[in-house]
């Protein structure tokens, strides 16, 4: 008789938060891997692209430090998204610095991607985050709603209106 | 649904493909991995910065020391009731002290930033850490930060970030001395 392994049992966020609070580094690492794409998208829609790498780590560093204060461990996802949003506000308040050697945009595809991102970043805030999560990170509308704590209806509207505005900008030669 | 003409592909990412949306996804694809790291590694942030900023040696040292100390403090705090009502109210509770001693031409600025960012993140609004400043003008300075280790970790991380963004030259040495202890709050 051949035994077949069943599907792996995935820990819930609440279980991982509980383990992380007990000092389990692997548990926090899993939380990072599970939510980093969403946090990355949130930051990409708000802070300069060259800041995203540092900001992503800083957002989770803050989450780790504040983990004891998280009231509902099951809401780790929307909670860390809120931390990322607040962090982006802090980062934009800090003094700017001189960029000596900017490796971003060194290749044509990356330069083109950054140009489109810039158009998205000029849209109203409500549309920016949703469009980046959908078009860059590849999340579905339903996944965006769960990850950000918004209603599906709100995400639908933001996606539709944001896309309409983005299409208009892409077709406007003065915006290119 | 507010928009009956809503494009199903835009919502679900599959099904009948909207060519314009699909083309945008393709163009934006390079950004997906921009700044992504497979693992949680906050100390690597300072290393990344070196590639694009005029980072002098001292700033690398500052960032590395502060990040490492911050991470250590964060993990030292694991499992502790750092938000206990007693600690918030100023009564008996888990209490730690971090002494940061700075020397060199940039010592005053470092201490100023440490106090500034420390207050920003762990100040009276959260009421769980106290920053005191003892600085002789132009000379070595010292900073004592008291509070829950997790708060100190945030403070140090912020100091490192602030220092490396607004100073381009100078020298600085930092010494960190951490004392986890339980005592009556002052």
Q: pLDDT below 50 — which residues of chain B?
A: 1-6, 43-61, 63-64, 67-68, 70-96, 117-142, 147-148, 150, 180-186
Q: Note whether B77 contacts A25, CB cutoff 8 Å.
A: no
CB–CB of A51/B45 below 8 Å? no
Structure tokens at B68: 């490492």
ipTM: 0.82
Q: What are phi and psi of B93, to 5 degrees?
A: 180, 180
Interface subset of B 120-139, CB within 8 angstroms of A: 120
Cα within 13 Å of Cα(A151), Cβ side: 4
pLDDT of residue B95: 42
For residue B61, give both structure tokens.
């040292």
H/E run at residue A48: none
What's the predicted TM-score (pTM) here? 0.58
Nearest to A97 by CA among B59, B155, B162, B112: B162
In the β-sheet with B141-147, what is the strand arrangement from edge to edge?
B129-135, B141-147, B93-103, B173-183
| Series of mean pLDDT values for 10-residue runs along chain A (176 residues) | 47 91 87 93 90 85 88 92 91 55 64 91 91 94 90 91 91 68
Q: How many Å apart are CA A128 and CA B94, to the nearest integer?
A: 42
Question: Which residues on A lie below 8 Å from B59 (Cβ)?
Answer: none
Name every chain A residue with its beta carbon within 8 A of the beta carbon of B36. Answer: 36-37, 40, 53, 56
Cβ–Cβ gap B53/A100 under 8 Å: yes
Beta-carbon-side half-sphere exposure of residue A107 (alpha carbons within 13 Å): 7
Instruction: Name the residue facing B28 among A40, A113, A157 (closest C-beta).
Output: A113
Q: Count the Cβ atoms, other than its own, within 10 Å of residue A48.
A: 16
Instruction: Report helix, strand and coil shares of chain B as percent, to nearest 5.
Output: 45, 20, 35
CB atoms within 10 A of CB A5: 5
Looking at the complex, report in whole angstroms how far the Cα of residue B136 sits from the nearest Cα belonging to chain A: 25
The CA distances from residue B26 to A66, A91, A110, B9, in Å, are 37, 29, 11, 14
A94/B161 CB distance under 8 A: yes
Distance from CA of B172 to the nearest CA of A (A): 19
Residue B33 at interface with chain A, using a CB cutoff of 8 Å: no
């Amino acid at each position: 008789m051949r035994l077949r392994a069943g599907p792996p049992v995935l820990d819930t966020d609440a279980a991982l938060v509980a383990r992380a609070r007990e000092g389990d580094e692997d548990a926090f690492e899993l939380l990072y891997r599970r939510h980093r794409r969403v946090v990355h998208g949130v930051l990409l829609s708000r802070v300069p692209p060259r800041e995203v790498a540092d900001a992503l780590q800083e957002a989770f560093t803050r989450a780790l430090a504040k983990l004891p204060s998280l009231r509902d461990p099951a809401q780790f996802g929307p909670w860390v998204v809120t931390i990322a949003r607040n962090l982006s506000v802090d980062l934009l308040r800090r003094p700017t610095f001189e960029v000596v050697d900017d490796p971003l945009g060194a290749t044509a595809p990356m330069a083109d991607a950054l140009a489109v991102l810039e158009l998205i970043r000029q849209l109203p805030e409500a549309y920016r985050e949703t469009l980046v999560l959908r078009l860059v990170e590849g999340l579905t509308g339903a996944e965006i709603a769960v990850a950000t704590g918004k209603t599906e209806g709100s995400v639908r509207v933001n996606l539709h209106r944001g896309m309409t505005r983005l299409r208009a900008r892409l077709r406007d030669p003065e915006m290119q | 649904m507010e928009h009956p003409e809503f494009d199903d592909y835009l919502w679900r990412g599959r099904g009948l493909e909207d060519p314009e949306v699909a083309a945008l996804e393709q163009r934006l694809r390079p950004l997906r991995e921009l700044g992504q790291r497979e693992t949680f590694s906050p100390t690597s942030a300072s290393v990344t910065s070196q590639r694009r900023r005029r980072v002098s040696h001292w700033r690398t040292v500052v960032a590395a020391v502060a990040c490492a100390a911050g991470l250590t403090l964060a993990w030292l705090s694991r499992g502790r009731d750092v938000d206990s009502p007693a600690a918030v109210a100023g009564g008996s509770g888990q209490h730690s002290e971090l002494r940061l001693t700075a020397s060199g031409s940039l010592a005053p600025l470092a201490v100023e930033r440490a106090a500034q960012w420390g207050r920003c993140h762990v100040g009276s609004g959260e009421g769980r850490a106290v920053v005191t400043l003892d600085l002789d003008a132009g000379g070595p300075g010292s900073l004592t930060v008291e509070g829950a280790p997790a708060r100190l970790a945030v403070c140090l991380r912020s100091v490192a970030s602030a220092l490396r963004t607004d100073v381009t030259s100078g020298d600085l040495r930092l010494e960190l001395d951490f004392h986890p202890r339980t005592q009556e709050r002052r």
